[in-house]
Structure 1
Amino acid sequence: MSENTTTKVSDDELKEMESQTDWKALQAKTDAEIQQDIAADPDAHALDADWFQVAQSVVPSSTKKRITIRLDEDIIAYFKREGDGYQSRINDVLKTFVIAKRIQDERSSRSP
């Protein structure tokens, strides 16, 4: 994973930021060159057709319930390495899992 931290900005700040993408260089690349660049990037992860079958946009809940949960130390360490907001990231991973399971269950119940 990248060692960069995530920066939060408002919609207005985002609109004011300049893109750091060299669009001319990107447009000059062939599909094969782009695929090579992706393959060489340790942070890039291919998303296959199965992923897109279950992927959904997740809107954060405005209501969260405070609980106590016991997690393995290596799990906590992994999420904390990514910086502030690790509890929200754990919540996002769990929410994505729940959504994927619901979709899987719905498909199973519709199957003959």
Structure 2
Amino acid sequence: MPRKPKFIMPTDEEDALINQGILQDADNPELTDQDFLNAKPASVAVPALAAQRRVRGPQKAPTKKLVSIRLDPDLIDRLKQDGPGWQGRVNDMLRQAIGLTS
């Protein structure tokens, strides 16, 4: 199962409206090939800003505990077939199996 939903392409009419809106926005013009050729990496254009590293702090109220268990590959493959969120579904299955309800 693909992890991302299929992208829906706009119709020709929708695409024309999008392009018309881009042309009318003087504050945010569409970038040209020349603009891309002249572009600089952020580390060169704004080195002070690019040097800042944002790190997520510790979780204030952990709701889950990280554990490591070994499971058979065919079991993991089957669980992943249902798509993203498989670990949460495993959590729900285990709660049900031992008589805890969420």
Higher relative contact order (CA 8 A, sep 6+): 1
Larger fraction in helix: 1
User: Larger Cα Rg: Structure 1 or Structure 2?
Assistant: 2
Task: Assess same fold via TM > 0.5.
Answer: no
Give the TM-score normalised by the residue count of structure 2: 0.36
Give the TM-score normalised by the residue count of structure 1: 0.33
